[in-house]
Structure 1
Amino acid sequence: MTKRKVTDIVEELAAPIVEGEGLELVDVEYKKEGANWFLRVFIDKPEGVDIDDCSRVSEKLSDMLDEVDPIPDSYFLEVSSPGAERPLKKPADFERSIGKQVYITTYEPVDGQKTFEGVLSGYDGDVVTITEAKKTVTLPAERIASARLAVVF
């Protein structure tokens, strides 16, 4: 089973559990680190998640994963908040982050650069607009490799 396939299956299993708890499923990650595999499920809600939210989702998801058994390898399940530098993956993530500081990397250079940090000033599904220090940059959404909120100190 490929890494992508595992995350798709887990996302399908986790979504109703997470939504049933009044939470949002932000991301699912399946990674090998050293000798161990880690299945990470990131959840959130507007006021932030707490340990009880993570514990409830972890218990229910663990039971579901034991029942369905979609992962052939041994792994560690971690359920947590996406943190202050939350990834932006879905259209709703970009829409709700307009006006916030973001960090974006692209697959290939746009105007000679591959990393952009500034205020997300627009998103229409096809184009992301970022206002950097003294300029505005428009990035085609399909060229974005990764995007996340950026913490400003």
Structure 2
Amino acid sequence: MADIAALTQLIEPEVEKLGFALVRVKMMSGEDGPVLQVMAERPDTRQLVIEDCATISRALSGMLDEADPIADAYRLEVSSPGIDRPLTRLTDFDDWAGHEARINLIDPVLGKKQFKAVLKGREGEAIYAVIPDEDDLTFDFKNIHSAKLILTDKLIAETAPLSTEGAETITEEEG
């Protein structure tokens, strides 16, 4: 499989040059073979409209064709992170403090590797959260296997002014 860290280093400057922020780069299995998923957002709205996806897709397609960092054929998918977004950057834990997230850890904290918790922010790489009616948690950012916001009425209400167009996805054949 492709080296995600190397792909991220290749893709992030291109996305930023277009005025967007990279959220995640991920290789996934798709029905028609491997898919390189690139999630990005506008820093001001935290969304992407279909035209933004197309702009990023065109720029990345050319750059990836030239660099050829993936040996096998794959499809490029550019998308918005959506409302119930993955939390992939340290700043996400500050930005989404007060919201519920589903968190999967590599090593257990307080005997748990998986939990739903309300994010309380961070200090350095220490992430603070609380499991409602249970425990306060502190865990290291590097211990996170995956984290994602949970769709709640509060999250919907706080993101309601944003357009629903951000859920669009563009897919192109790559090889």
Fold match by TM threshold 0.5: yes
Amino acid in structure 2 at the alignment position of 1:148: K
Q: Give, in whole Å, the separation in 2 of the partners of 1:58 and 1:19.
A: 13
Q: Give, in whole Å, the separation in 2 of the partners of 1:12 and 1:84.
A: 25
Identity %: 35
Say whether the 8 Å CA contact 1:127–1:138 is kept in structure 2: no
- The corresponding residue for 1:56 is 55
Runs of 4+ aligned residues of structure 1 deviating over 4 Å after TM superposition are: none
1:14 corresponds, among 8, 11, 15, to 11
Q: Give, in whole Å, the separation in 2 of the partners of 1:109 and 1:27.
A: 24
For the structure 1 residues 109 and 16, does the alpha-carbon distance in structure 2 shift closer, same or farther, using more than 3 Å as the test?
closer
TM-score scaled to structure 2, two decimals? 0.76
Amino acid in structure 1 at the alignment position of 2:11: A
Say whether the 8 Å CA contact 1:13–1:61 is kept in structure 2: no
SS of the equivalent of 1:99 reads coil
SS of the equivalent of 1:76 reads strand
Amino acid in structure 1 at the alignment position of 2:13: P
Q: Give, in whole Å, the separation in 1 of the partners of 2:149 and 2:74.
A: 28
Deviation at 1:125, TM superposition (A): 2.7
For CA contacts below 8 A with separation 6 or more, give which structure has more relative contact order.
Answer: 2
Aligned length: 150
Unmatched 5+ stretches in structure 1: none
What root-mean-square deviation, in Å, do the aligned CA atoms of Structure 1 and Structure 2 show? 1.9
TM-score scaled to structure 1, two decimals? 0.86
- The corresponding residue for 2:156 is none
2:25 corresponds, among 18, 25, 28, to 28
SS of the equivalent of 1:67 reads helix
Q: Give, in whole Å, the separation in 2 of the partners of 1:63 and 1:143.
A: 35
Q: Give, in whole Å, the separation in 2 of the partners of 1:143 and 1:9.
A: 21
- The corresponding residue for 1:74 is 73
1:145 matched to 2:142? The reply is no
Unmatched 5+ stretches in structure 2: 154-175
